[in-house]
Amino acid sequence: MLGRMLSPGTRLSPDAFLEVLDHRLPEISRGYGALVTHEPDGKAVKRGTVTFCRYGTRPVILTAAHVAEQHVGRESTLLHFNLNVHGAPQLEQVQRGRRAVFRPQLVFSDADIDVACIGVPDEVADIEGLTWFDLDDCVRMTREIVAYLPEVLRDETLPVVACGFGNYGAIEDAGRRVQLFAGGPLLCELRSCDSEDDRVPQMILAPDVEPDALRTRTLNGIERDLVDRLSGWDDSCAPDHPAAFGGYSGGPVIYMSGTREHVIGIVTQGTRRPGAARILAAPMTAIVERFKR
């Protein structure tokens, strides 16, 4: 039974995980955003995902080191989700002349685990409604998950979600000068997590990206286009395209317990091949250990 080795209050079966995901999506969606740099005419040229965290009372932004390299010291826009009148997440829109920009500054970066921490300016810290994941809680839950994972039987799964803004969701209409960034959670199975003694600890996730179940639902035009793009986008067969899950780097890997959401890793890489989709992430235990140095 899922949770044999997890603390009371953290136990959530795979079926229950799916049942509560929709209810907790608004809270989860406010815990990450898209970091974008623009050309003078407003066109986005670099994009990655960032995760909002808190170390004690100090807000910090975690992302992948290779994402931070593209934005540190450059004027960047931080897009985040707002909730519409129905309580559903809706990504903030960028309009010419109304962008709130800042120049990200590094707090730390570690190339080995491909994770970086960016300082939080006042204009970001003061944004209302963001979810700031507590790093101490993240470490505690990650340790419990790592201890539990070897005991998972072959017919059990450990569900998590990886959140970010994949390349498959980036759509551009050059004629109308419009760019769409679609972000959201990918339901994944946590397959393995290296021990904390390893030089480069790493989580391996298997995302559930087969479209059959989604096709049975009523989808609007954009949603159906995204499903078709993801299901047909094979990284190994499209060398001229960016990786399908590129853009998820820097986003949170979230485990949901019976009481709250916990970030247990930060996405660093993803590949999409039929039957072999994989997402790699750095465990929060390794990240915070380096953050405290």
Q: Does this model's pTM top 0.75? A: yes
Compute the distance between CA of residue 278 and CA of residue 248 in angstroms, rounded to an integer.
12
Question: Read out DSSP for the chain?
Answer: -TTTTSPTT----HHHHHHHHHHHHHHHHTTEEEEEEE-TTS-EEEEEEEEEEEETTEEEEEE-HHHHHHHTTS-EEEEEEEE-TTS-EEEPPP-TT---EE---EEEEETTTTEEEE---HHHHT-TT---EEHHHHHHHHHHHHHHGGG--TT---EEEEEE--GGGEEEETTTTEEEE--EEEEEEEEEE--TTSSS--EEEEE----HHHHTS---HHHHHHHHHHHH--GGG-TTSPPTTTT-TTPEEEEE-SS-EEEEEEEEEEE--TT--EEEEEEHHHHHHHHT-
Q: What pLDDT does 220 receive?
A: 46
Neighbours of 5 (CB within 10 A): 15
- Residues of the chain whose pLDDT is less than 70? 1-14, 38-45, 82-100, 153-155, 168-183, 195-199, 209-244, 272-275
CB-CB contact of 226 with 169 (8 Å): yes
**What pLDDT, on the 0 to 100 scale, is given for residue 2?**
43
For position 1, what pLDDT does the model report? Answer: 39
89, 288 contact by CB (below 8 A) = no
Q: Answer yes or no: are the C-beta atoms of 211 and 11 closer than 8 Å.
A: no
Give the Cα separation of 250 and 33 in Å (integer): 9
Q: What is the reported pLDDT for 171?
A: 58
Rounded Cα gap, residues 92 and 95, in angstroms: 10
* Residue whose token pair is 């339901």: 187
Q: What's the pLDDT at 110? A: 93
Q: Tokens 């990886």 belong to which residue?
A: 162
Q: What's the pLDDT score for residue 248?
A: 86
Could you give the CA distance from residue 213 to residue 13 in angstroms, rounded to a whole number? 21
Domains plus CATH for the chain?
14-291 (2.40.10.120)
pLDDT in the model for residue 293: 72
**Exposed (0-12), middle (13-18) or buried (19+): which is 27, by Cβ within 10 Å?**
middle
